Amino acid sequence: MDAVYIVAAKRTPIGKLNGALASLSAAELGGQLIHAMLAESGLASDAVSEVIMGQVLTGGAGQNPARQTSVRAGLPVSVPAMRSTRCAAPARNRSILPRRPFAAATPIASSPADRTR
């Protein structure tokens, strides 16, 4: 199996009820986050092979928030995207998931804030 490397680490800001981030969805924040991670790492968007996003509270987020996030980040629509909703150590789970036997070469795991309203 290929090794998995962390090439950038970022997270979205934590908002508060009706605060400054209330008008932004988790997908919008996550898209900006992935875009910034790609810029910082120097990776091209077509180098990403999978997106794994942590989001526990998904009420009102629509279908597959991870897919919405990856598309907003400018990734090719061919890149698969999934979300991790495990409450117990979700960041640890997102670092383990890319190591699955079917993982591809360049996964990006992101964790957009889900408390923006």
Can you identify the CATH homologous superfamily of domain 26-110?
Thiolase/Chalcone synthase (3.40.47.10)
Single out the residue of 73, 98, 56 nearest to residue 10, CA to CA: 73
Q: pLDDT digit string (tens) for 72-104? A: 999 999 999 988 776 655 555 555 555 554 444
Amino acid at 88: A
The model carries a pTM of 0.69
Quick one: average pLDDT of 22-38?
Answer: 91
Quick one: average pLDDT of 31-58?
Answer: 86
Task: Enter the tokens of residue 77.
Answer: 């629509």
